[in-house]
Amino acid sequence: MPLLLNEEYFKGVLVQRDIDLLSHEAAHRWWGGGLVQTATLKDRWLSEGFAQYSSLLYVGHSLGRERMLEKLRENVQGYLGLDPSEDVPMNSGQWGGSAVDILYHKGSYVLHMLRFVLGDDLFFDTMRAFAQEHYNGLASIDDFQDVAERVGGEDLDWFFDEWIRGTGVPSYRVQDFYMVGDNGAWSAKVRAFQDSTFDMPVEVTFLTEGGDMTGRMRVDSTVSEHIFPLGSRPLSFSFDQDDWILKRDLVYQFPIKSLQAEPSDGGILLSWEKSEGG
């Protein structure tokens, strides 16, 4: 007896459950099973990570960006739950065991981070150039890095060393200090702590009385600081609000636990540090 599916059922049930698998396998027409073949077993990220991120891009196209980000976060939880002894570099050549969580889910998140580092235009230009230059041929991770560096116009050893050739993810603790000058202009100092020394640009968003303001800071050591000019009084701030960076934990330290007033160029700078748990 045939099963009749109406359009609402198809979009609501089948798409939610099966679109990931179908779009992932379709993406292998480009990555790892069609246009671009992986040179060695150590290059499987170019197949599985690329197909998985292509699948997520299709989710974003068909169901919206928020659903794509939800799937990205959901999928990577298995990787974040691995025992440290199971975590291996993306180019280890290992297959089975933790490989799905590493190559597929961490792998797709790494591409998402590269997109953030390069920006949308240069990222998608990189993907197109890589597919065109290795059309019907073999490619390695080093080949992809070469294309990304040439198209992006910057050295990316730091990125590939951390996320492809290395293991682990950062955890962050962040504090913000607000200051106002004698001209009434506000600024914020954001301080980020990590136990490791992952090097990543991070987006910081402030809600102020004059509207939203977004900037970037480089977090590349155990303690990193950056001062953002705000213009008007800040109300709140977010560190990596859109989850561009794969991380294990993010802890905000507040509310006020100390207040300081310092003379500065004929005015007074007010700053306060927020304590954890507020």
Do 128 and 30 belong together in one domain? yes
Do 191 and 126 belong together in one domain? no
Instruction: Tell me how far CA of residue 29 lies from CA of 38, 50, 139, in angstroms.
Output: 13, 11, 15
pLDDT in tens, 164-214: 999 999 999 999 888 777 677 888 999 999 999 999 999 999 999 889 999
CA dist., res. 51 & res. 33, Å (int): 10
CA dist., res. 145 & res. 214, Å (int): 29
Q: Quote the number of domains for the chain.
A: 2
Beta strands in the chain (DSSP E): 36-38, 137-139, 172-180, 186-193, 200-208, 211-219, 223-229, 234-239, 250-264, 267-276
Do 106 and 229 belong together in one domain? no
- Per the CB < 8 A criterion, the answer to whether 268 and 185 are in contact is no
Q: Which domain holds residue 74?
A: 7-163
3-class DSSP assignment, residue 34: coil
Do 21 and 148 belong together in one domain? yes
Using the predicted structure, report yes or no on whether residue 11 has a pLDDT greater than 60.
no
Residue 215, CA atoms < 13 Å, CB-side half-sphere: 16
pLDDT in tens, 78-111: 999 999 999 999 999 888 888 889 999 999 999 9
Residue 209 resides in a domain: yes
> pLDDT band for position 71 (50/70/90)?
very high
Do 18 and 75 belong together in one domain? yes
Backbone angles phi, psi at 51, to 5 degrees: -65, -40
Residue 2 resides in a domain: no
User: According to the model, what pLDDT value does residue 270 have?
Assistant: 52
- Across the range 38-57, mean pLDDT stands at 94
> pLDDT band for position 4 (50/70/90)?
very low
Average pLDDT of the chain, as a whole number: 85
User: According to the model, what pLDDT value does residue 256 have?
Assistant: 46
User: According to the model, what pLDDT value does residue 63 have?
Assistant: 84
> pLDDT band for position 259 (50/70/90)?
very low
| CATH label of the domain that carries residue 91 | 1.10.390.10
Residue 1 resides in a domain: no
What amino acid is encoded at 163 in this protein? W
β-bridge mates for residue 172, sequence order: 250
Looking at residue 31, what DSSP letter applies? B
Share of the chain above pLDDT 90, in %: 62
Q: Which of 33-37, 105-109, 230-234, 253-257 has the lowest mean pLDDT?
A: 253-257
User: According to the model, what pLDDT value does residue 5 have?
Assistant: 36
Using the predicted structure, report yes or no on whether residue 266 has a pLDDT greater than 70.
no
- Per the CB < 8 A criterion, the answer to whether 246 and 226 are in contact is no
Using the predicted structure, report yes or no on whether residue 146 has a pLDDT greater than 50.
yes
Last residue of a domain, one of 104, 138, 163: 163
Do 58 and 192 belong together in one domain? no
Using the predicted structure, report yes or no on whether residue 10 has a pLDDT greater than 70.
no
What amino acid is encoded at 106 in this protein? K
- Across the range 18-23, mean pLDDT stands at 72
CA dist., res. 163 & res. 188, Å (int): 30
Do 108 and 137 belong together in one domain? yes
